């Protein structure tokens, strides 16, 4: 059997595979109109005739929301609450924008229905569900050719009987059905409605996409889908709970970075994933950072996700002069088609083109020589824009990189400095096709002492999918406090969640000895509006005070602590790839690793930089900048102010002269 990780990005679709003891990597241009085309082509190239175990991170759900190309979706809720999905919260993302206007709601007004019936906050039924009214709405939904329905009744997380009754009626039709108590059994009506609606909006797209992949695979093959929480789930589960796959690709990268960093002795990491269309950053202080306060396209999503911050700066980000003549980069990207100018079809200058003009990309060694960059195409475009900007072409190229680096620096400050973390205490772990080209400059801007560049950094997101646990998250609102509920009562509250977790993981194919159940509480001080996730241990109240003080700078032990939600993470630990450690270290780089020299521009100066083949480097080898290290999936730029060495796992560790 061959094990394969697949990550679909905006520019490239990445594959990493393990066939017996042999590792291999493969990249192919993505096919945005139908992402499955590139995935199936790569799988055929890698594993023709072999039984395959595949873990896949997909952007299908994300793109459906961002591009507003999801299913025709209806919402059914209590009468009088039909418009909650459009009203939302009073928060404004652009407070001083006088022309601000909300985008149209993803559920049209004529597709929002209210039914008579009410469950109280205690779980008691105040008014039974009006079944005749429900049947009439189901018939109307059929007439309107609705594809997917979100059902969200008040307090269904305590008593889901009304949702289950309506679900039975809807499942007699051919629509997809998302019930809020199955997607998110928590209080806060708008957030629960939003999460359920998003699930309904994307699940038909995911059903079609995953179904197409499974139809093309052999019955002997298995397919798992990466989740936003850093774990994988089976393909059928992903079709039903598609909202959990929104950030599956970036989550795979963070998991891979966490495991590689931990193995190399770096537990405090800032991950820097620069791909073709965007850059994702995440801070890991010894563990994966999870949040339940994410949003996409203005809609909150309350399912657990790795806390990733994204900016529109990637290798394919387009450079332009704004109305005032200032140089701007992104967020628009040239993507895979037409791509950067040097790919042969593009007409807009991108970050990749700027790196090529400055000598930081080696045309003959891009994708291991399988895709030669067209250097001769980029000159006229740079000359034209440089003339408009009053710069030389090389000054323009350096300016483009400087603007892109500033954007990415700001993103890293958001997740570190603005949250009370000192970047100097962390290692910057870079990956993605373009990460190694910008990491050293970013680290210097932020005073980060070390940069770790793993082997095959352009494929790390796909590798992370092979290293991910199978994870299922569950939650239940309890609304109590430290005085009302004793620890034993809270333990009892976890029993049903744990029973579901064990059953679901067994169905995912995990054996009982590989099951791990982790208990957490969502806690806050009385009077606060939002909660902190705290491990449920022997002294969970004091644990909350400590986490609150670390997060907000103070604690108040005279204030009553409320316990809002029980939260369970059920982890199944599958067989994972293992990496060999070098038995000896060799400081001198072997002669066959040198591919020659070339002129590269750094800070306005032409310098001779050594070109090095990473595949020929040995553990312990020391590299002095300036140098360009080439490999199949990425290029690493070592500026003149940096040097590095290869550690015992094959990672390049960069350090800086003051």
Mean pLDDT, to the nearest integer, of 247-273? 92
Asked if residues 273 and 442 have their Cβ atoms less than 8 Å apart, the reply is: no
Token reading at 90: 């009073």
Beta strands 118-119 and 279-285, pairing class: unpaired
* The pLDDT of residue 647 is above 80: yes
Mean pLDDT, to the nearest integer, of 258-269? 93
Mean pLDDT, to the nearest integer, of 253-258? 94
Domain assignment of residue 58, yes or no: no
Domain assignment of residue 497, yes or no: yes
Tell me the C-alpha distance between 292 and 640, whole Å.
42
pLDDT of residue 37: 92
Length of the chain in terms of residues written: 658
Domain assignment of residue 226, yes or no: no
Asked if residues 161 and 208 have their Cβ atoms less than 8 Å apart, the reply is: no
Sign of CA dihedral 449, 454, 459, 461: negative
Read off the CATH number of the domain in which 442 is found. Answer: 3.30.420.40
Q: Are residues 144 and 191 in the same domain?
A: yes
Tell me the C-alpha distance between 196 and 177, whole Å.
10
Token reading at 263: 């193995």
Token reading at 523: 């806690």
| Residue 576: alpha-carbon gap to chain centroid | 21
Tell me the C-alpha distance between 632 and 532, whole Å.
42
Q: Are residues 285 and 423 in the same domain?
A: yes
pLDDT of residue 314: 87
pLDDT of residue 248: 86
Residue range 473-489, pLDDT digits in tens: 999 999 999 999 999 99
Asked if residues 351 and 276 have their Cβ atoms less than 8 Å apart, the reply is: no
Count of structural domains within the chain: 5
When mean pLDDT is compared across 34-43, 93-102, 107-116, 598-607, the lowest value belongs to: 93-102
Query: In terms of pTM, does the model score above 0.85?
Result: yes
Residue range 92-118, pLDDT digits in tens: 777 888 888 888 899 999 999 999 999
| Residue 431: alpha-carbon gap to chain centroid | 13
Token reading at 157: 């997380």
pLDDT of residue 501: 94
Asked if residues 274 and 433 have their Cβ atoms less than 8 Å apart, the reply is: yes
Among 123-132, 314-323, 504-513, top mean pLDDT goes to 123-132
> Hey, how many other C-beta atoms are within 10 angstroms of the C-beta on 94?
8
Q: Are residues 461 and 509 in the same domain?
A: no
Asked if residues 211 and 81 have their Cβ atoms less than 8 Å apart, the reply is: no
SS3 641: coil
Beta strands 470-481 and 532-535, pairing class: unpaired
Over pLDDT 90: what percentage of the chain? 72
Q: Are residues 597 and 491 in the same domain?
A: no
Tell me the C-alpha distance between 30 and 10, whole Å.
7
**Residues pairing with 630 in the sheet:** 613, 635
Mean pLDDT, to the nearest integer, of 303-311? 90
Asked if residues 279 and 272 have their Cβ atoms less than 8 Å apart, the reply is: yes
Quickly state the pLDDT bin for 210 (edges 50, 70, 90). very high
Q: Are residues 303 and 427 in the same domain?
A: yes
Residue range 377-429, pLDDT digits in tens: 999 999 999 999 999 999 999 999 999 999 999 999 999 998 889 999 999 99
* The pLDDT of residue 301 is above 90: yes
Rounded to the nearest 10 degrees, what angle do helices 248-263 and 460-467 cross at?
A: 80
Q: Are residues 438 and 486 in the same domain?
A: no
* The pLDDT of residue 364 is above 90: no
* The pLDDT of residue 243 is above 70: yes
pLDDT of residue 425: 94
Rounded to the nearest 10 degrees, what angle do helices 161-170 and 131-143 cross at?
A: 40
pLDDT of residue 131: 95
Calculate ∠ Cα 608-614-618, nearest 5°: 110
Residues spanned by the domain of 417 = 251-310+404-466
* The pLDDT of residue 44 is above 60: yes
Q: Are residues 409 and 349 in the same domain?
A: no
Q: Are residues 73 and 171 in the same domain?
A: yes
Over pLDDT 70: what percentage of the chain? 100
pLDDT of residue 99: 86
Domain assignment of residue 17, yes or no: no
Tell me the C-alpha distance between 429 and 255, whole Å.
12
Q: What is the CB-side half-sphere exposure of residue 225 using CA atoms within 13 A?
A: 28
* The pLDDT of residue 452 is above 90: yes
Mean pLDDT, to the nearest integer, of 143-154? 96
Of the candidates 572, 599, 626, which is a domain's last residue? 572
pLDDT of residue 92: 76
> Which residue from 594, 595, 528, 583 is spatially nearest to 559, judged by alpha carbons?
528
Give the helix/strand (H/E) hosting 593: none
- What's the order of all strands across the beta sheet hosting 232-234? 22-29, 12-19, 2-8, 52-57, 222-226, 232-234, 470-481, 561-572, 515-525, 532-535
* The pLDDT of residue 336 is above 80: no
Asked if residues 183 and 195 have their Cβ atoms less than 8 Å apart, the reply is: yes
Tell me the C-alpha distance between 373 and 375, whole Å.
6
> Which residue from 231, 235, 206, 203 is spatially nearest to 221, judged by alpha carbons?
235
Token reading at 329: 């980069």
Mean pLDDT, rounded, of the chain: 91
* The pLDDT of residue 79 is above 80: yes
> Hey, how many other C-beta atoms are within 10 angstroms of the C-beta on 583?
7
Of the candidates 186, 206, 226, which is a domain's last residue? 206
Note the helical H segments in 517-631: 540-552
Q: Compute, in degrees rounded to 10, the torsion defined by CA atoms 523, 526, 530, 531.
A: -10
Quickly state the pLDDT bin for 18 (edges 50, 70, 90). confident
Domain assignment of residue 48, yes or no: no
Domain assignment of residue 614, yes or no: yes
pLDDT of residue 125: 95
| DSSP string across 15-62 | EEEEETTEEEEEEEE--TT-HHHHHHHHHHHHHTTS-EEEEEE--HHH
Quickly state the pLDDT bin for 643 (edges 50, 70, 90). very high
Q: Are residues 79 and 182 in the same domain?
A: yes
* The pLDDT of residue 9 is above 80: no
SS3 526: coil
Tell me the C-alpha distance between 468 and 462, whole Å.
10
* The pLDDT of residue 546 is above 70: yes
Q: Are residues 288 and 165 in the same domain?
A: no
Q: Are residues 164 and 304 in the same domain?
A: no
pLDDT of residue 657: 63
* The pLDDT of residue 658 is above 60: no
Residue range 177-197, pLDDT digits in tens: 999 999 999 999 999 999 999
Of the candidates 466, 483, 517, which is a domain's last residue? 466
* The pLDDT of residue 335 is above 80: no
Q: Are residues 454 and 507 in the same domain?
A: no
Domain assignment of residue 578, yes or no: no
Tell me the C-alpha distance between 481 and 491, whole Å.
14
Domain assignment of residue 137, yes or no: yes
């Amino acid at each position: 059997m061959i094990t394969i990780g697949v990550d679909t990005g905006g520019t490239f679709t990445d594959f990493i595979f393990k066939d017996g003891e042999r590792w291999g990597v493969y990249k192919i241009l993505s096919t945005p109109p139908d992402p499955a085309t590139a995935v199936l082509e790569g799988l055929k190239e890698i594993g023709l005739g072999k039984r395959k175990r595949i873990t896949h991170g997909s952007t299908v759900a994300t793109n459906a929301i961002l591009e507003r190309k999801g299913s025709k979706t209806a919402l059914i809720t209590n009468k009088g609450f039909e418009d909650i999905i459009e009203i939302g919260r009073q928060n404004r993302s652009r407070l001083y924008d006088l022309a601000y206007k909300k985008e149209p709601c993803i559920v049209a007004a004529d597709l929002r229905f209210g039914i008579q019936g009410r469950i109280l906050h205690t779980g008691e039924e105040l008014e039974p569900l009006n079944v005749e009214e429900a049947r009439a709405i189901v018939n109307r939904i059929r007439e309107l050719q609705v594809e997917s329905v979100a059902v969200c009744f008040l307090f269904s997380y305590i008593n889901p009987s009304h949702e289950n009754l309506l679900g039975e009626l809807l499942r007699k039709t051919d629509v997809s059905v998302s019930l809020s108590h199955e997607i998110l059994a928590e209080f806060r009506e708008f957030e629960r409605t939003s999460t359920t609606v998003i699930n309904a909006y994307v699940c038909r797209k995911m059903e079609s996409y995953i179904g197409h992949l499974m139809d093309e695979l052999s019955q002997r093959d298995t397919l798992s889908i990466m989740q936003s929480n850093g774990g994988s789930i089976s393909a059928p589960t992903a079709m039903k709970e598609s909202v959990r796959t929104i950030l599956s690709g970036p989550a795979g990268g963070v998991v891979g970075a966490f495991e590689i960093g931990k193995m190399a002795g770096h537990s405090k990491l800032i991950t820097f994933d620069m791909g073709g269309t965007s850059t994702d950053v995440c801070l890991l202080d010894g563990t994966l950072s999870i949040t339940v306060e994410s949003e996409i396209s203005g809609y909150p999503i309350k399912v657990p996700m790795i806390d990733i911050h994204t900016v529109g700066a990637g290798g394919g980000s387009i450079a332009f002069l704004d109305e005032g003549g200032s140089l701007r980069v992104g967020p628009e990207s040239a993507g895979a088609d037409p791509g950067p100018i040097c790919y042969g079809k593009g007409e807009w200058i991108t970050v990749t083109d700027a790196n090529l003009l400055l000598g930081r990309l080696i045309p003959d060694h891009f994708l291991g020589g399988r895709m030669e960059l067209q250097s001769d195409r980029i000159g006229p475009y740079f000359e034209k824009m440089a003339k408009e900007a009053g710069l030389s072409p090389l000054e323009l190229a350096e300016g483009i990189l400087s603007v892109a680096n500033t954007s990415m620096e700001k993103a890293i400050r958001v997740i570190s400095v603005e949250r009370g973390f000192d970047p100097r205490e962390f290692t910057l772990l870079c990956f993605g096709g373009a990460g190694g080209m910008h990491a050293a400059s970013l680290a210097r801007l932020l005073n980060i002492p070390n940069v770790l560049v793993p082997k095959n950094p352009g494929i790390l997101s796909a590798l992370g999918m092979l290293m991910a646990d199978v994870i299922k998250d569950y939650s239940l609102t309890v609304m109590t406090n430290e005085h009302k509920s004793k620890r034993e009562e809270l333990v009892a509250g976890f029993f049903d969640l744990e029973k579901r977790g064990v059953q679901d993981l067994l169905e995912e194919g995990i054996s009982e000895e590989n099951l791990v159940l982790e208990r957490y509480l969502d806690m806050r001080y009385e009077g606060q509006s939002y909660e902190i996730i705290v491990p449920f241990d022997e002294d969970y109240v004091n644990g909350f005070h400590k986490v609150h003080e670390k997060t907000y700078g103070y604690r108040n032990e005279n204030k009553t602590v409320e316990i809002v939600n029980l939260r369970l993470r059920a982890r199944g630990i599958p067989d994972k790839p293992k990496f060999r450690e070098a038995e000896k270290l060799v400081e001198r780089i072997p002669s066959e690793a040198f591919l020659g020299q070339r002129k590269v521009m750094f800070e306005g100066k032409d310098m001779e930089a050594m070109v090095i083949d990473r595949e020929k480097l040995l553990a312990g080898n020391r590299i002095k900048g300036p140098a360009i290290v080439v490999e199949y999936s990425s290029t690493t730029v070592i500026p003149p102010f940096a040097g590095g060495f290869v550690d015992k796992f094959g990672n390049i560790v960069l350090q800086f002269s003051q």
